[in-house]
Structure 1
């Protein structure tokens, strides 16, 4: 699958998703070219509340996130923030935060294509990822995206309820 197909699937499947693709000058330069999927049906979330439930990244992030070697031609990573329960069902307990290498220690090859695995940096927060998923692998990714979306909807619902008198 290519990036455009994945972006279209998420935008068309999940209601109220704001697909954010920062352009030069709109966001920190490091985010330009990446895609962020945010549940914001009314497009009224304050910037600090605009947390994505999934992202599609196309490049390494300096010393912070290099474990996937995304600077290879044509390589991208779909990142998905799933529930703790979903993460544990897939991989067991969340790992400790990244050490000196900048990546979590899970035994996964974070450069491998077409494999669902813990996110190399954000696995402790229950994020998973896949580099260049095939159609078959994307079938397994669909319920993970639904899980992440449901979490985002729940956060939005709770935030609105907290603001109402």
Structure 2
């Protein structure tokens, strides 16, 4: 799977706002080249929420274990939620799991945000492509549910 394949897939889930920071748009330089996905039917970045998935193209401070400093390397990060996280890793998010974040095409607990239910896949391919798509579908559904709950509570 290429980054464009993933972006096209996620945008096809519906009501997705895709942010692709670049020079000159006011975003922090460290985010340039990365992609952030939000559930947002109104196409506005939701207040007080994180993206439901991201694609990162470089190492971030404190998150170098995936080795994204290689040419063409990228990692998909997915806010999977507890149930999908357990299914993918065999343990709860807050339990300590050990995985090599640099191994491509393998679903692992996110090297930094795993305790919060995030999964990661460096360079998804033939082994992890379908499960990556399924996890993205689930993350989108969870984000939609959170959005709808917030919208309902503000209408009251």
Q: Please confirm whether the aligned pair reaches a TM-score higher than 0.5, indicating the same fold.
A: yes
Q: Distance in 2 between matches of 1:45 and 1:111?
A: 31
Q: CA deviation at 1:50?
A: 4.6
Pair 1:53 & 2:52 matched: yes
- Structure 1: gaps spanning 5 or more residues: 97-104
RMSD: 1.5
Name the CA shift for 1:138/1:158 in 2 (closer, same or farther; >3 Å). Answer: same
Task: Name the structure 2 match of 1:18.
Answer: 17
TM-score normalised by L of structure 1: 0.87
Post-superposition CA distance 1:16-50 (Å, at most 9, x none): 0011001124211111110001101112344x435
Task: Name the structure 2 match of 1:30.
Answer: 30
Partner SS state of residue 149, structure 2: helix
- Structure 2: gaps spanning 5 or more residues: none
TM-score normalised by L of structure 2: 0.92
Partner SS state of residue 49, structure 1: coil
Task: Name the structure 1 match of 2:103.
Answer: 112
Task: Name the structure 2 match of 1:66.
Answer: 64
- Count residues in correspondence: 154
